[in-house]
Chain A
């Protein structure tokens, strides 16, 4: 393991990987934040919906369409079909489960508990249907080339595609929230729910659609990430925690917060392993080095340190609304 400096190519590579990871965080955190803003429910099942989306994509692409039309068309079909399927699943879940708790006396707690129960239920349910081990999901052949290759700096086509699609989706969501009637109702409901109901707008429907939208975003992120890693039932656990960190850092209640927070956390996640290559090589008391090996693994921990600092110094997050985190 070289302990010297970091060359530019490696730095750029990590920067790029951070951007890719950050775009997944952005998609997930946006869905979480929209659902939270309108309904006041923190969706602890976001990670497992993401996992379910990946499995849906696997089913649609690898099991149904790929044997007939080939892997490229299958992947595109999965990208189109999974958000629709997950939108439906989200709406059904909202209609039959979550809507039951709206008028109970502790609705927010119940929302947390139900979605948390879902995050325990779904992985095993997925194991029941698709089997215990994870499933491989290859990068579709049409993305099997590099756009740019300088030394070790390698911009693969699929990762570029991911970043582009995420950017387009963020713009679309911005358009939906700030330039359409539905978005107007969502934003109004976020700031004052009862007033919107008084104005005669069918809030139930809007809530259902919003929940479906958040779930669809999570499922879409799941399909997009599955060619990079394998599809497996526990893939939602880590990313749920990381999404929470993104939301805490970026702040709830604003559109820009999850986006910027996701990009920051993505970069932090990718750049931490490089720290060990530069200056921070210390010996700890038991004689082992806090060196490169440590920093390779420390990126998970550093995220929590950043989150704690944000919670202490600026409790509402970088771009959060005032009083959003009390």
Chain B
């Protein structure tokens, strides 16, 4: 901890060194534990407000109430978790393969619509083979989530067949255009999807194996349900990205011709990455409708693709946990603007303008995102410290050598 020349004093430099060390080694664990106990923190806050009001501490209760407005609620944390997963799925493409897809809302929406349609379909009692209905009634949520992943994988594979032969900006343009076909389809087949109103009334979602009821009735249980799935999916993405396949993805990003000359079928790899990313986006989309119990049509509109691009670039496209940080900042800021800031300044109700403006500034001035920039700072700092230490060691070594001689 000591720098040698400062003696035993604990300087700010030492603090930052300590901080980065902890951040590096235990950051993920701390984050995980914090997320694990989050619903209790929030409900504890709510209960303490009620307790203070009951016991006539009006002033303190009001102060806590004001403070509560700045604490993200459990439903907001559900949204943040889901969009972290979505962003990490998106980051398989943008950060690792170097493909900028502007049409990921399609798979996000398709996942949501699949989950919603499965529930609506079986509730209506559409005639199918009885064993299908029986199986579905045993495991409704597992069945729907798996089929949401499969359906969005199929669709992203189909779109990927067309789009992934394109590169760079053409890829962005073609994916954006092709994603809108899903939006128009959702509008056209409105007897199935509910048209512009979205698909609503999906109450009573139940997980068969644990006999768990998720939905708007119980935010905490839904939070843990989403949390477990998001953590599992994150672990899968992490494992994929550090496997040899993930290395090939980054090779394609850096230099596709060289990767091809090394003997990799880059077209196939790009298509695989696209399908993987699309199916995980479908999983995120399926999760995103559980708490609201309805599928809004905005899920499938390209404004959602815009959101996920913004989230990923806020956090940092090249960093694994970048989208998670971006998702937190995006949703938290949005929530603050539309509920708290707007009380003081009416201009904050136009949050899209703020988000778009901040996004442009970030692309211009902080292209690596927040976590990427922090990583760079710490990298510089760590490198400097490392070099200092090396020099110090070599000096002392030479000093001892000269003493010996």
Q: Using a CB–CB distance below 8 Å, which chain A residues touch chain B? A: 40-42, 44, 97, 100-101, 104, 106, 108-114, 116-125, 127-128, 237, 241, 244-245, 247-248, 286, 288, 294, 297-298, 300-301, 304, 307-308, 311-312, 315, 325-326
Those of B349-369 within 8 Å (CB) of chain A: 350-357, 359-360, 363-364, 367
B123 interfacial contact with A, CB 8 Å: no
Residues of A within 8 A of B180 (CB): 241, 304
Report the Cα distance A304→B188, complex, angstroms: 14
Given known pairs A117-B363, A123-B352, A286-B191, the reply for A326 and B166 (CB within 8 Å) is: yes
Residues of A within 8 A of B165 (CB): 315, 326
Within 8 Å by CB of B364, from A97, A121, A125, lies: A97
Return the chain A residue nearest B350 by Cβ. A124
B187 interfacial contact with A, CB 8 Å: yes
Going nearest first, the 4 A-B pairs with the smallest beta carbon separation are A121-B356, A124-B353, A120-B356, A124-B352
CB-based contact B172/A112 at 8 Å:
yes
Q: Could you list 17 further interchain pairs (A-B, Cβ under 8 angstroms) beyond the known A121-B359, A244-B174?
A: A97-B360, A109-B100, A110-B367, A114-B364, A116-B306, A118-B360, A121-B352, A121-B355, A127-B350, A244-B173, A297-B188, A298-B188, A300-B184, A300-B188, A301-B185, A304-B177, A311-B163
Interface flags for B346-390 (1: CB within 8 Å of A; 0: not) read 010011111111011001100100000000000000000000000
CB-based contact A124/B176 at 8 Å:
no
Report the Cα distance A322→B310, complex, angstroms: 33
Report the Cα distance A108→B363, complex, angstroms: 12
Within 8 Å by CB of A110, from B167, B309, B355, B363, lies: B363
| Residue from A106, A117, A119, A247 having most chain B Cβ neighbours under 10 A | A117
B169 interfacial contact with A, CB 8 Å: yes
A-B contacts, 16 listed (Cβ < 8 Å)? A97-B360, A104-B367, A106-B367, A109-B100, A114-B363, A117-B360, A117-B363, A120-B352, A122-B353, A124-B352, A244-B177, A247-B173, A301-B181, A311-B163, A315-B166, A326-B165
Return the chain A residue nearest B356 by Cβ. A121
Number of B residues contacting the other chain (C-beta, 8 Å)? 44
Given known pairs A121-B356, A300-B188, the reply for A100 and B177 (CB within 8 Å) is: no
Report the Cα distance A222→B271, complex, angstroms: 38
CB-based contact A128/B350 at 8 Å:
yes
Within 8 Å by CB of A124, from B169, B191, B351, lies: B351
Return the chain A residue nearest B353 by Cβ. A124
Report the Cα distance A304→B185, complex, angstroms: 11
Report the Cα distance A228→B289, complex, angstroms: 38
CB-based contact B353/A125 at 8 Å:
yes
Residues of A within 8 A of B192 (CB): 286
CB-based contact A288/B191 at 8 Å:
yes
Within 8 Å by CB of B167, from A97, A307, A326, lies: A326
Task: Tell me the minimal C-beta distance from A4 to chain B in angstroms.
Answer: 23
Given known pairs A101-B364, A124-B352, the reply for A42 and B172 (CB within 8 Å) is: yes
Report the Cα distance A117→B352, complex, angstroms: 10
CB-based contact A120/B355 at 8 Å:
yes
Report the Cα distance A146→B173, complex, angstroms: 39
Residues of B within 8 A of A117 (CB): 310, 356-357, 359-360, 363
Report the Cα distance A41→B169, complex, angstroms: 8
Task: Tell me the minimal C-beta distance from A198 to chain B in angstroms.
Answer: 25
Task: Tell me the minimal C-beta distance from A31 to chain B in angstroms.
Answer: 15
Interface residue SS majority, chain A: helix
Task: Tell me the minimal C-beta distance from B185 to chain A in angstroms.
Answer: 6
Interface residue SS majority, chain B: helix
Within 8 Å by CB of A304, from B181, B310, B352, lies: B181
Residues of B within 8 A of A113 (CB): 100, 309, 313, 359, 363
Given known pairs A124-B352, A124-B356, the reply for A42 and B173 (CB within 8 Å) is: yes
Residues of A within 8 A of B188 (CB): 294, 297-298, 300-301
Task: Tell me the minimal C-beta distance from B123 to chain A in angstroms.
Answer: 15
Report the Cα distance A44→B309, complex, angstroms: 14
Return the chain A residue nearest B167 by Cβ. A326
Task: Tell me the minimal C-beta distance from B213 to chain A in angstroms.
Answer: 30
CB-based contact B167/A121 at 8 Å:
no
Report the Cα distance A288→B85, complex, angstroms: 38
B102 interfacial contact with A, CB 8 Å: yes
CB-based contact B173/A121 at 8 Å:
no
Return the chain A residue nearest B307 by Cβ. A120
Task: Tell me the minimal C-beta distance from A262 to chain B in angstroms.
Answer: 15
CB-based contact A325/B166 at 8 Å:
yes
Task: Tell me the minimal C-beta distance from B328 to chain A in angstroms.
Answer: 19
Residues of A within 8 A of B102 (CB): 44, 112, 116
B178 interfacial contact with A, CB 8 Å: yes
Within 8 Å by CB of B162, from A121, A237, A241, A308, lies: A308
Given known pairs A114-B360, A121-B360, the reply for A244 and B176 (CB within 8 Å) is: yes
Task: Tell me the minimal C-beta distance from A159 to chain B in angstroms.
Answer: 25
Report the Cα distance A303→B159, complex, angstroms: 15
B23 interfacial contact with A, CB 8 Å: no
Return the chain A residue nearest B301 by Cβ. A237
Return the chain A residue nearest B346 by Cβ. A128
Return the chain B residue nearest A294 by Cβ. B188
Report the Cα distance A101→B365, complex, angstroms: 10
Task: Tell me the minimal C-beta distance from A310 to chain B in angstroms.
Answer: 10
Residues of A within 8 A of B172 (CB): 42, 44, 112
Residues of A within 8 A of B357 (CB): 117, 121
B19 interfacial contact with A, CB 8 Å: no
Report the Cα distance A34→B70, complex, angstroms: 48
Return the chain B residue nearest A42 by Cβ. B169
Report the Cα distance A232→B178, complex, angstroms: 24
B40 interfacial contact with A, CB 8 Å: no
B170 interfacial contact with A, CB 8 Å: yes
B32 interfacial contact with A, CB 8 Å: no
